């Protein structure tokens, strides 16, 4: 679950972190009112999940409520990386003397959470890591022991910060680390943390991502933000087609036939499982094919589930044909998948022999599966044909 800035800031606020005054607004009139409440210059920030808001014109400054209204109206209509904002954040403008960066994330190599801290905030942290490594610290900590503040202090001190700033920053970084670990985040980032002209240190922009698998344990936080524990929000909000697929997958517990991502090509893909789908999607593109979707089937989905996924994919007008491909399967059954796709094709009003460019799922119960494919005249290949070759055949048969 990727949170919008205003949601991330609410999480920080609830944890007692210092933040500028701000209001989340969905209309220009609300933005005008918010600016009037703040009584002073404001910044208006587009609430989109995409990065690069500043460059795209999604962050603007206003001196008066009327100006704020006009800018909010503009930003609410501005698409950034093809996404419309869900609203704007109207926030008290700050006089910033120095910017810091703090993030907590997982390091799969160390198998521990890591605090990344820098006294060069506000810019691309990968760039800081490359060109100014002495301005960046990485501090791992145990997920097993309760978090100790000294770890945050170490992270801040390691880039040379001392005095009052060290103590103020330690409080913020320790708070962030606790939110990260207690709330099962995969990323908790404040960039920048601003030191103001008057010496106060506050969080200016924030980005958090909660692990999907742990959402159920944090229904309280999600509900308080107006979200549900079952919501999935990635780098972009899901399309209707993706939501439909998710609904189908969720309505039947037997196996997986979903994790669908929409693309704009003409070849519908029924592929699996996790790694197989990644491999096959690349293979189709390498063969010159244009996929209409990514998806994953696995864990032996029911006939009904595969049938519904097939019908959903075929319901899109841009889909000319479909390809059904997987790696050599262990627990998913070839015959059960074959029944599902054949049934889906026929119920959608198509001849599976014409609609399916290739079927390549070798493995468990393949004799039964191949018998079904033969009965319906569907082109298929066995395990002696590689996934790459199958993808090539899928693309080649598009014009048949």
Partner 1 sequence: MAMFIRVDIDPSVQEDMQLCQRLVEVCPVDIFETVGESNVATVEENLDECTLCDLCVNEAPGRVHVVKLYREG
Partner 2 sequence: MSILVNADTTFIIQGITGREAVTMARECLDYGARLLGGVTPGRKGREVHGLPVMDTVRQFTDTQRVDASVVSVPPAFAADAVFEAIDAGIPLIVVVTERIPRKQVAQFVEYAQQQGTRIIGPNCLGIISPGKTRVGGVGGAANSTERAFKPGRIGVMSRSGGMTVEIANSLSEAGLGVSTAVSIGGDAVIGSTYAELMPLFDADPDTDAIAIYSEPGGRAEYELAEYMQRSGSTKPIVAFMAGKFMDEMPGMRFGHAGTIVEGKADTATEKIANLAAAGITVADKVGDIPSLIKQRLGA
Q: Does 333 bind partner 1 (CB under 8 A)?
A: yes
Side by side, which strands form the sheet with 88-92? 22-25, 88-92, 42-46, 59-62
Q: Which residues contact 117 (CB under 8 A, 6 or more apart)?
A: 100, 101, 102, 103, 136, 137, 139, 155, 156, 158, 159, 169, 173
Which of 30, 368, 388, 389: binder of partner 1 (CB under 8 A)? 368
* C-alpha to C-alpha distance for 208 and 282, rounded to whole angstroms: 30
Q: Rounded to an integer, what distance in angstroms lies between the CA atom of residue 152 and that of residue 166?
A: 10
Q: Which residues contact 243 (CB under 8 A, 6 or more apart)?
A: none
Q: Which of 98, 212, 279, 304 touches partner 1 by CB under 8 A?
A: 304
In the complex, minimum distance from the CB of residue 365 to partner 2, in angstroms, rounded to a whole number: 8
In the list 389, 396, 397, 398, the residue contacting partner 2 (rule: CB under 8 A) is 389
Give the nearer residue to partner 2 in terms of CB position, either 96 or 187.
Answer: 187
Name the CA radius of gyration of the chain, rounded. 26
d(C-alpha 193, C-alpha 101), whole Å: 6
The C-alpha atoms of residue 374 and residue 382 are separated, in whole angstroms, by: 13
336 binds, among partner 1, partner 2, none (CB under 5 to 8 A by kind): partner 1
Q: Which of 18, 106, 246, 350 binds partner 2 (CB under 8 A)?
A: 106
Q: Is beta strand 267-272 parallel, antiparallel or unpaired with respect to 321-326? A: parallel
Q: How many residues bind partner 2 (CB under 8 A)?
A: 58
Report the nearest approach of partner 2 to the CB of residue 282 (Å).
Answer: 5
What phi, psi does 2 have (nearest 5°)? -90, 125
331 is in the binding site of which of partner 2, partner 1, none (Cβ under 5 to 8 A by kind)? Answer: partner 2
Residue 123 interaction partner, one of partner 1, partner 2, none, beta carbon < 5-8 Å per kind = none
Q: Which does 259 bind (CB under 5 to 8 A by kind): partner 2, partner 1, none?
A: partner 2
Footprint of partner 2 on this chain (CB under 8 A)?
2, 49, 106-109, 111-113, 126, 142-144, 181, 184, 186-187, 211-214, 217, 234-236, 259, 261, 272-279, 281-283, 285-286, 294, 296, 298, 326-331, 362-364, 383-384, 386-389
């Amino acid at each position: 679950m990727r949170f919008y800035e205003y949601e991330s800031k609410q999480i920080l606020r609830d944890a007692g972190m210092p933040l500028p005054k701000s209001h989340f607004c969905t209309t220009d009139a609300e933005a005008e009112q918010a600016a009037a409440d703040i009584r002073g210059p404001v910044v208006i920030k587009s609430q989109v999940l995409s990065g690069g808001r500043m460059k795209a014109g999604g962050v603007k400054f206003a001196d008066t409520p009327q100006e704020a209204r006009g800018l909010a109206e503009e930003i609410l209509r501005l698409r950034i990386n093809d996404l419309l904002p869900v609203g704007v954040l109207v926030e008290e403008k700050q006089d910033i003397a120095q910017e810091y960066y703090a993030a907590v994330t997982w390091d799969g190599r160390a198998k521990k959470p890591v605090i990344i801290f820098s006294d060069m905030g506000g810019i691309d942290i990968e760039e800081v890591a490359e060109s100014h490594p002495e301005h960046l610290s990485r501090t791992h900590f145990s997920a097993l022991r309760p978090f100790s503040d000294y770890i945050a202090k170490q992270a801040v001190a390691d880039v040379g910060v001392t005095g009052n700033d060290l103590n103020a920053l330690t409080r913020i970084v320790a708070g962030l680390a606790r939110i990260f670990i207690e709330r099962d985040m995969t990323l908790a980032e404040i960039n920048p943390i601003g030191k103001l002209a008057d010496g106060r240190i506050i969080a200016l922009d924030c980005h958090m991502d909660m692990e999907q698998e742990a959402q159920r344990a944090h229904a309280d936080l999600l509900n308080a933000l107006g979200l549900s524990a079952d919501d999935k929000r990635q780098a972009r909000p899901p399309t209707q087609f993706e939501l439909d697929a998710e609904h189908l997958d969720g309505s039947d517990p037997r196996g997986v036939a979903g994790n669908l991502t929409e693309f704009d090509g003409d070849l519908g893909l029924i592929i699996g499982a996790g790694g197989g789908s990644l491999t096959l999607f690349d293979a189709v593109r390498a063969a010159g094919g244009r996929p209409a979707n990514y998806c994953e089937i696995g864990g032996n989905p029911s006939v009904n589930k595969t049938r519904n996924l097939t019908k959903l994919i075929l319901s899109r007008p841009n889909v000319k044909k479909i390809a059904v491909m997987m790696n050599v399967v262990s627990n998913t059954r070839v015959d059960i998948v074959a029944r599902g796709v054949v049934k889906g094709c026929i119920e959608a009003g198509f001849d599976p022999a014409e609609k399916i460019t290739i079927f390549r799922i070798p493995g468990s119960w393949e004799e039964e599966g191949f018998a079904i494919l033969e009965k319906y005249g569907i082109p298929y290949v066995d395990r002696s044909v590689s996934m790459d070759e199958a993808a090539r055949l899928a693309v080649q048969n598009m014009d048949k």
